[in-house]
Structure 1
Amino acid sequence: MTDRDTDLSPPVGKGIWALMHPVKKGIATAMAMGALGVILGLGAIALLAGCLAGLLKPGGHPWWWFWGAVMLTLGSLFLRIHAFKVSHLAAFDLEVILRTDMAARLGRLPLGYLLQEGTGALAKVLQDDVRNLHAFVADSTPMVGRSVAMPVVTLMLIGIIDWRLTLVSLAVLLVGLIVMSMAMRSNKELQKAYDSLQERVAGTVIEFVQAMPVVRTFDDGASSFGRYQSALEGFKDVLIRWLQLAGTSGRIGVVLLGPLPTLLAVACTGFILFRQGLASIPSWTAILLLGTGLAESLMPLMWLNHLIRRANASALRIQQLQARKLQFSSAFARMPRDASVTFEKVSFTYEGRQDEALSKVSFHAPQGKVTALVGPSGAGKTTVARLIPRFWDVTAGSVRVGDVDVRDLQTQTLMDHVAFVFQDTFLFKDTLAANIRLGRPEATDEEVQAAAKAAQIHEFITRLPDGYDTIAGERGTRLSGGERQRVTLARAILRNCPIVVLDEATAFADPENEAAIIAAMANLMRGKTVIIIAHRLATIQHVDQIVVLDQGRVSETGRHEALLEQDGVYTRLWKKYEQAQGWSLRGEKRTTQ
């Protein structure tokens, strides 16, 4: 087994506690401090009862009971405050550990997986899900310690004081727990529907707001608002059914688990026992205070169930990301002998699919030559291009740079040899100079400007008020599409990789930008091994080699004129292209003078 087959990821399904293992000491300390704080607080109540008994005795001066209760109360407050301090520190440590780990994993996951999942889903894991675990550790762990310790210790103290009043307190609590459990059993499916519709409402809100400029152009936002309103109506229907099925029993359970029913039951029973001489005022008072605390201690456990459910869902998504197989590069530094690219019987199947995206694809892209990938939509052009920089690893066969399989190249070596220019450009919210320097942070200002000149973007940048220090905006939104494209071409020119994989950038450009982009591409491609995904067949008539793909297989290979003579797939594509070019916008066929 080679290192590239090794999977160091943990298995999925261990749950929330597996993720918390690195901060288990902090969590245990917070729980213990929360529990000890409860014990000291209950001890203070017991001492106050002793103080009351002393005051009722003739000539009694039970001040040490009182001061003992004060000290225990202060100790309880100290422990409760520090339990939250410890839990919050543990939560921050966990957040740092998880985000550092996942950031490192993202750097070793296949690039294709990152594209497939999308930035939204990954951002949800890195931000929302980690934040949910942070909140659970910070707020829930002291609550767990208190909620577990308080019922146990309270029942022990009540049992020591008067076992009959203990039975009364337990009876009220058991009825409340039974009613609440019935309510919880009846709404499990509705709870799932509630969570699902809540996510749908959130998604339609985002869609409604983000798509507003577009939808208002066509229908004044009616269709988008209709989806939003439909999601709200569905959410409302589930909420009403939930309240109808489980609302009554749930509310009864909440009331019974509150302090008032226990207080009334203990007060009435204690009064009867007191009238019969079977209970004293101090014991009765102590049980009143302890009994109400017993009821209140169970309510946080009910809310804790919701927090645990949400944290478990977040933990599952985090562990699914952690369980993804990582890409490992060779431990040995190998250098390709040249900058050619070879596909040898390459087959590839996307994860979760049965049919092959590529089947036994073979071709050779010589060093310093331009190879165009052509084919109908879905033929596999983009898949071929993205296998070169290891967006995915092949299912069978091999992709080689020079004489070395790309899987046997160290990641940095592969990145130093291959530059990939996407059609969907991405700029960071940083200066234009920093965006161009992305591939070579050490580049001088002169080198950055030279690359910008070669990409036909230097003059535009110098006309801006801040020049190269201009902030590009979120995802480069302050620039037009053509301007963003030329900035990314400048980035690739500055890197100066010997192999360029280019998703043709002129497909949707206006004439002015198209001319500038073509000139920039010419400067980028000079002397390089270029593999270009062609969208406009007119732009690749004079390339060195055309590889025609059809249904995931290589159908034809050759130059433009030779392929037209074969009367195959390329000829059909060329005829369709000419036919499309021969029609005007009004749908009338163009005539030549």
Structure 2
Amino acid sequence: MLNTYRRMMDVAGAYKPQLQFTLLLSVIASVIQGIIFALFFPLLSALMNQPIEAQRVWTLLVLFGFLVIIEGLIRWKEQDFAWMTSTDVSHETRLRLGKQLRRMPLQELNRRSSGDLNVVMSGNVSEIVLWIGSLATLVIQTLVVPLIAVLVTLFIDWRLALALLVTFPLAVPVYRQMRTLVKGILRDVSDADVDTASRVVEYAQGLPVLRATKQVGAQSQRLQAALERQREVQSQGQRLVNLPLITMATLVEVGIIAVIGLGTIFILQGSLSIPALFALIVIAMRFTEPLAQLTGLASVFDLMEIGLERIEAVMNISPLAVQTPPAQLTHFDITFDHVSFRYADQTEWALRDVSFHAPERSLTALVGPSGSGKTTITRLISRFADVQEGSIRIGGVDVRQVEPTELMRSISVVFQDVYLFDDTILNNIRMAKPGATDIEVESAARAANCHEFITRLPNGYETRVGEIGGALSGGERQRISIARAILKDAPIVLLDEPTSALDTESEVAVQSAIDQLVANKTVVVIAHRLSTVVGADLILVLEDGHIVEQGTHAQLLTQQGRYTVMWKAQQQSQGWRIAA
């Protein structure tokens, strides 16, 4: 519980004082509630005396009413956090998580599934943070009121107070077993929920492929397996939780019966009055009831603990540190100096002792088979992660000395797989430069050869592109992404062969747009078609994470090495025809 309390305070952030004040109010209200139950003893005694002590009865009833009103007012104030502040905490938590996602290394971000992040950002925040105040005050009430009840019972009859206390030690092992069982199964349930969320996203995005391969419905194995595992884990959890709940309910009943039985014996012996026994029965009911509630709350607390752990795990990911002294980029040549890099949790090197220099305003092409390290080089230029050995410099400045926002301001990236947001074309282009005017956006679109097809759409620039840009063709999406890069006007451009998956007409349009984009820029392009980079200033041939050859097209052909073999193979393939 102390661990959960610490995590709750961390999540509360700037609202920590308000949460602590809420917990203090809950303690005060619970003490008052315990005192209210304690007043049953003198009230019953006054009512059963002969003659009835009317003045004392009215005094106690007035005190009862006063304390009930005070408790109600405190409880009302206590709910401020649960009703209002918790919403602000949820909002702030989501903003903090969003900021963390922007700061964390892209390598770490890519390791997490979309389902996991979706559960953290929406499910964990909504289900956990919104209920922090209510759950915390409920637990305080569950613990404090019985404590006051026991203290009051000590003044009535110490023997019965000890009888009440015996119930609590018996409940402890049941509660601990409950926490152990529940925590394990809830963690499994949480993992199953994350896996299912990821599979649902995957299923929705991959429906065209699933339909083409007849894997929809019951044949969608990955989604079906995730749903089946989720069902099994939830069923197992219900079975495991029921036994401790029944055991605790039995202990509660045994505790009440024990108090009544002992009280009856003491009355027969003449050492306890009947009003005292009635009062003790009321107090015993109030003491044992929270024990049953506490067992039920175990699952809620563990659910909260798991959610807080997930939020904490994301928040604890350290951003890439900026080395001192921080520096600004004024020149934009790129240098790899004996760079070696491997991805997290990988033993094989993705790059090994890679060195090259790409002059400012030059075109450098990366060629080689899949898995040779081409994409890794472009990722490291934008500081996807830090290298384990060597250094990467832009304009003579180590990228580790540049603030991430400053670095990304200097780089435009056009990938082969374009991601457009479910928004208008205007906003998808403008996101590269939020303050851009409509005229600037249109100018970038014209330069990217997409103004004409945009104006033919029903709503022009206000047309929504659909999720991932699904309402547009591949060539149209690619040209919009290039328009976005043109609008950004960064001095460094990274291209991942944006024309390789396009038809001939789209390729011509996109290639023309690229020519507009890369003019007077430092360009690094991943090339699959060697014919597109014949005019490159520098061609790097990669294989197994090493640069095996480098030079211009003409220089590499004279070497009669790996590049020559690739070039001849592609030239020969241009003459292939499909025969009957």
Give TM class, smaller chain: 0.7 to 0.9
Residues 391-402 of structure 1 aligned to structure 2 (within 5 Å): 391-402=384-395
Partner residue of 1:8? none
Query: Relative to structure 1, is the Cα distance of residues 70 and 210 closer, same or farther in structure 2, using a 3 angstrom cutoff?
Result: farther
Shift of 1:343: 2.2
Q: Does 1:525 align with 2:518?
A: yes
Aligned partner (choices 350, 353, 356) of residue 360 of structure 1:
353
Query: Relative to structure 1, is the Cα distance of residues 118 and 135 closer, same or farther in structure 2, using a 3 angstrom cutoff?
Result: same
Q: Give the residue type in structure 2 aligned to 1:106.
A: L
Shift of 1:202: 5.0
Q: Does 1:255 align with 2:249?
A: yes
Partner residue of 1:290? 283
Query: Relative to structure 1, is the Cα distance of residues 24 and 252 closer, same or farther in structure 2, using a 3 angstrom cutoff?
Result: same
- Partners of 1:371 and 1:564 lie apart in 2 by 17
Shift of 1:457: 0.8
Q: Does 1:567 align with 2:563?
A: no
SS at match of 2:475: helix
- Partners of 1:240 and 1:108 lie apart in 2 by 39
Q: Give the residue type in structure 2 aligned to 1:402.
A: G
Aligned partner (choices 112, 117, 125) of residue 112 of structure 2:
117
Partner residue of 2:451? 458
Shift of 1:76: 2.0
Aligned partner (choices 327, 344, 350) of residue 337 of structure 2:
344
CA contact (8 A) 1:143 1:300 kept: no
- Partners of 2:236 and 2:304 lie apart in 1 by 26
- Partners of 2:180 and 2:348 lie apart in 1 by 43
Partner residue of 2:463? 470
Higher deviation after alignment, 531-540 or 451-460: 531-540
Query: Relative to structure 1, is the Cα distance of residues 381 and 319 closer, same or farther in structure 2, using a 3 angstrom cutoff?
Result: same
Aligned partner (choices 467, 474, 477) of residue 481 of structure 1:
474
Residues 125-140 of structure 1 aligned to structure 2 (within 5 Å): 125-140=120-135
Q: Does 1:47 align with 2:39?
A: yes
CA contact (8 A) 2:245 2:295 kept: no
Aligned partner (choices 351, 355, 375) of residue 382 of structure 1:
375
- Partners of 2:344 and 2:73 lie apart in 1 by 54
Q: Does 1:422 align with 2:415?
A: yes
Partner residue of 1:5? none
Shift of 1:253: 1.5
Q: Does 1:217 align with 2:226?
A: no
Query: Relative to structure 1, is the Cα distance of residues 269 and 232 closer, same or farther in structure 2, using a 3 angstrom cutoff?
Result: farther
Aligned partner (choices 50, 57, 60) of residue 53 of structure 2:
60
Query: Relative to structure 1, is the Cα distance of residues 328 and 251 closer, same or farther in structure 2, using a 3 angstrom cutoff?
Result: closer
CA contact (8 A) 2:115 2:198 kept: no
Query: Relative to structure 1, is the Cα distance of residues 495 and 375 closer, same or farther in structure 2, using a 3 angstrom cutoff?
Result: same
Where structure 2 has 5 or more consecutive residues not aligned to the other structure, the ranges are 1-5
CA contact (8 A) 1:179 1:249 kept: no
Residues 523-562 of structure 1 aligned to structure 2 (within 5 Å): 523-562=516-555
Residues 266-285 of structure 1 aligned to structure 2 (within 5 Å): 266-285=259-278
Query: Relative to structure 1, is the Cα distance of residues 213 and 284 closer, same or farther in structure 2, using a 3 angstrom cutoff?
Result: farther
Q: Give the residue type in structure 2 aligned to 1:369.
A: S
- Partners of 2:70 and 2:94 lie apart in 1 by 36
Query: Relative to structure 1, is the Cα distance of residues 494 and 536 closer, same or farther in structure 2, using a 3 angstrom cutoff?
Result: same
Q: Give the residue type in structure 1 aligned to 2:44.
A: L
Partner residue of 2:494? 501
Query: Relative to structure 1, is the Cα distance of residues 571 and 121 closer, same or farther in structure 2, using a 3 angstrom cutoff?
Result: farther
CA contact (8 A) 2:366 2:539 kept: yes
| Deviation string, structure 1 residues 486-523 (Cα, Å, up to 9, x no partner) | 11100111222232111111121233322221111121
Partner residue of 1:4? none
Q: Does 1:163 align with 2:167?
A: no
Q: Give the residue type in structure 2 aligned to 1:253.
A: T
SS at match of 1:327: coil
Partner residue of 2:101? 106
TM-score (norm 2): 0.87
SS at match of 1:285: helix
Shift of 1:34: 1.7
Higher deviation after alignment, 22-31 or 69-78: 22-31
Query: Relative to structure 1, is the Cα distance of residues 130 and 167 closer, same or farther in structure 2, using a 3 angstrom cutoff?
Result: same
- Partners of 2:232 and 2:328 lie apart in 1 by 63
Q: Give the residue type in structure 2 aligned to 1:137.
A: I
Partner residue of 2:141? 146
- Partners of 1:345 and 1:89 lie apart in 2 by 56
CA contact (8 A) 2:337 2:391 kept: yes
| Deviation string, structure 1 residues 321-370 (Cα, Å, up to 9, x no partner) | 3333323456655443x433222222222233333221222222233332
SS at match of 1:484: helix
Shift of 1:151: 2.1
CA contact (8 A) 1:173 1:257 kept: no
CA contact (8 A) 1:380 1:551 kept: yes
Query: Relative to structure 1, is the Cα distance of residues 509 and 137 closer, same or farther in structure 2, using a 3 angstrom cutoff?
Result: same
Shift of 1:531: 1.2
SS at match of 2:476: helix
Query: Relative to structure 1, is the Cα distance of residues 234 and 168 closer, same or farther in structure 2, using a 3 angstrom cutoff?
Result: same
- Partners of 2:447 and 2:231 lie apart in 1 by 58
Residues 169-188 of structure 1 aligned to structure 2 (within 5 Å): 169-179=164-174, 181-182=176-177
- Partners of 2:203 and 2:291 lie apart in 1 by 41
SS at match of 1:439: coil
Query: Relative to structure 1, is the Cα distance of residues 359 and 248 closer, same or farther in structure 2, using a 3 angstrom cutoff?
Result: closer
CA contact (8 A) 1:48 1:66 kept: no
TM-score (norm 1): 0.86
Higher deviation after alignment, 441-450 or 90-99: 90-99
CA contact (8 A) 2:423 2:465 kept: yes
| Deviation string, structure 1 residues 176-211 (Cα, Å, up to 9, x no partner) | 544554566577765655554454455555555554
Partner residue of 1:310? 303
Task: Give RMSD over aligned pairs.
Answer: 3.2
- Partners of 1:36 and 1:221 lie apart in 2 by 58
CA contact (8 A) 2:142 2:291 kept: yes
Q: Give the residue type in structure 1 aligned to 2:385.
A: W
Q: Give the residue type in structure 2 aligned to 1:489.
A: I
- Partners of 2:52 and 2:312 lie apart in 1 by 67
- Partners of 2:226 and 2:110 lie apart in 1 by 28
Query: Relative to structure 1, is the Cα distance of residues 157 and 580 closer, same or farther in structure 2, using a 3 angstrom cutoff?
Result: farther
- Partners of 1:122 and 1:551 lie apart in 2 by 33
Where structure 1 has 5 or more consecutive residues not aligned to the other structure, the ranges are 1-13
Q: Does 1:33 align with 2:28?
A: no
Shift of 1:37: 1.6
Alignment: residue pair count: 572
- Partners of 1:512 and 1:501 lie apart in 2 by 23
CA contact (8 A) 2:429 2:441 kept: yes
Q: Give the residue type in structure 1 aligned to 2:360.
A: Q
Shift of 1:90: 5.2
| Deviation string, structure 1 residues 58-103 (Cα, Å, up to 9, x no partner) | 1431111112111212222222232232355553454355444443
